[in-house]
Amino acid sequence: MALLSAFEIVAENLVPQGILPPDASNPFLIQGYWVEISLALGITSGSFNIVFQETTDFTQGKGQSSLNAQYIDAKGEANVYPDFFASAERGFLNQSIYAGQTLIYGVQCLPFGPSQQGQDLEIPQSGTGWRGTVQVDGVRPNMLIATPTQRLVYYRRYDKQFRYFVDATVYPVPTFSGGTMI
């Protein structure tokens, strides 16, 4: 089992509501955690799990219903991953990779889903923020190359239709080992 990095998934206003004057600009941001996985040179195949250990079991803020887990497969196609909460180990379980492939796994909070009455759900005033650690297990030492990143999208304000896009950024997340070889 290899501890990879810390993670933070956020969907909230940049400054908590009520602190700024009512007409001040207060961007809304969505920050997700992503990890790119490849095999090390000379390795032909492997299986692994990416496990998220979050301090509140993803119950803070909007909770598990707003978590969006997805992966980009070896063909470059994005896929929803519905089994993130299927076991006590939260994450991408029983994954396989082969030589020449790169897979990308991501988790983000999308707080704009419809409620049971067909209305958009409101985001809690404090937003939604999940933090913890990510580990990759089921691998032999030096079998995988794992590169974690945070991806952020900024909106001018909270908007359920994503109309007020401002900017997007991606930055690397330091690994606990200091390198990307697992």
pLDDT greater than 80 at residue 124: no
At 164, which amino acid appears? Y
pLDDT greater than 70 at residue 140: yes
Among 33-37, 49-53, 100-104, 122-126, the minimum mean pLDDT is found in: 122-126
Q: What is the pLDDT of residue 118?
A: 43
Is residue 116 within 8 A of residue 133, CB to CB? The reply is no
Structure token pair of residue 31: 């920050």
Instruction: List the chain domain ranges.
Output: 2-112+124-172
What does the pLDDT look like over 33-51, one tens digit per residue?
A: 999 999 999 999 999 999 9
